[in-house]
Structure 1
């Protein structure tokens, strides 16, 4: 039902009351608005079904013990909390909403501890991503040092090409090709405004 869908997306709880694994970024989706949820539900309902059963989880012990997720959540869950900053522009505020919520940038670009909890070093990059590899820092200082302007960051999020002409690889390329290239131009401008900490009134 729609109510179960909302609970699943915002709280990470299945219709049967089971806790989803945090690979599903429900922490970040907690800020989705009621209109967002209605739009997502409409999109899901309009998507044709696939005649193929879902694949089961293939996790080793102790990760296959779903009850342990409740313990993990009590220790590490940090639900996103969005509030408008009246001292900033509408672009900056929309960017904050997108970056910290539905785009869940911190999920990959914030370091995690050994048990997968996010550290306090927001967007400082993760040198030891759990899936392997590393993610760069995307703080305003790091992006500026990398030669990014608002226009070039929008271009990178749209195409995967950096200001120096290099091309994103690995999971960053997946993010562009599966997500950010489909965003509205205004939303990319909003995200770049927030990430570069522009938009002061």
Structure 2
């Protein structure tokens, strides 16, 4: 009985010690970009490719570009995209390029806190230093919007941000982009876009109970998306079975019109409207080529 009482009395202290350990557990590494000159035009193109406009512009409520506020309901709670304008108080106006790089490639805030994986930073780890410099140059041109980011509304225990450090230790394994020397330049460009900035796997890969992507099922489709819909498989076999070709898939990424004459709906319609429709024809061809020529 005494041991039981001691255990009960000690539990809060042990829990507090564990939480304190998580809070002070350091994550990430320093980002050194160097003295690179960014190209804002190329950065704006990368921002379109990366889905920044769709996720951080609340078009449904007349929000200003990149001012945030897009609602993303999930089984863990509701996320709201933050303000990415140059406002110094509510946006990223006071950030440094190193902090910008750490946010994009490591999912770490300027305060050293982990971002929720609703922000697809695992995919952005493929961005080069020059990509970061170009994106930074583009974001510096965005007019400031003095609108505070809405805080996430998460269910316990997911509202404890420090717990994300455990999630990262279990599931976050960033991989820089490495081209396949045995494949064509077009295929490798498609791999970079699909597996990197365009983060296709964020929606088209199933997730486990803790919201981590099941790597062995990459691009095999997923259900229960935040908008209530589901994403079909976009593996080579699945695409070929449904009659897709490089030309029809390339055209669909430009127009939203599918190979059977129907149109994309839900979040995929937004991907086309705010993202892939702005890409070059060659980049859309690269995406289609990679998806239709992947080994799995």
TM-score bracket for this pair, using the shorter chain length: over 0.9
Q: Does 1:163 align with 2:242?
A: no
Where 2:157 maps in the other structure, the secondary structure is coil
Query: How far apart, in 1, do the equivalents of 2:266 and 2:142 lie?
Result: 28
Alpha-carbon distance, 1:147 to partner: 1.2
Q: Which moved more, 1:181-190 or 1:18-27?
A: 181-190
Superposition pairs of residues 111-190 of structure 1, within 5 angstroms: 111-119=206-214, 120-129=216-225, 131-190=227-286
1:34-80 per-residue CA deviation (whole Å, 9 max, x = no partner) reads: 11111100010011111212212222221211011111111122424
Q: Does 1:3 align with 2:98?
A: yes
Choose the corresponding residue for 1:89, options 156, 181, 184: 184
Is the CA contact 1:80–1:101 (under 8 Å) kept in the aligned structure 2? Answer: no
Where 1:67 maps in the other structure, the secondary structure is helix
Choose the corresponding residue for 2:144, options 49, 70, 87: 49
Alpha-carbon distance, 1:184 to partner: 1.4
Query: How far apart, in 1, do the equivalents of 2:229 and 2:174 lie?
Result: 25
Alpha-carbon distance, 1:128 to partner: 3.4
Alpha-carbon distance, 1:132 to partner: 2.7
Query: How far apart, in 2, do the equivalents of 1:93 and 1:187 lie?
Result: 11
1:134-188 per-residue CA deviation (whole Å, 9 max, x = no partner) reads: 1100011111111111111011111111111001111111111121111111111
1:78-110 per-residue CA deviation (whole Å, 9 max, x = no partner) reads: 424421111110000010011000001111101
- TM-score w.r.t. the length of structure 1 is 0.94
Query: How far apart, in 1, do the equivalents of 2:175 and 2:255 lie?
Result: 28
Alpha-carbon distance, 1:29 to partner: 0.2
Q: Which moved more, 1:165-174 or 1:49-58?
A: 49-58
Q: Does 1:197 align with 2:293?
A: yes
Gaps of 5+ in 1: none
Query: How far apart, in 2, do the equivalents of 1:129 and 1:77 lie?
Result: 21
Is the CA contact 2:127–2:176 (under 8 Å) kept in the aligned structure 1? Answer: no
Is the CA contact 2:204–2:219 (under 8 Å) kept in the aligned structure 1? Answer: yes
Is the CA contact 1:29–1:80 (under 8 Å) kept in the aligned structure 2? Answer: no
Alpha-carbon distance, 1:130 to partner: 5.1
Gaps of 5+ in 2: 1-95
Query: How far apart, in 2, do the equivalents of 1:70 and 1:131 lie?
Result: 27
Question: Could you say if the C-alpha distance between residues 33 and 2 of structure 1 is closer, same or farther in structure 2, counting changes exceeding 3 Å?
Answer: same
Q: Please, what is the CA RMSD of the aligned residues?
A: 1.3
Q: What is the total number of aligned residue pairs between the two structures?
A: 198
Where 1:196 maps in the other structure, the secondary structure is helix
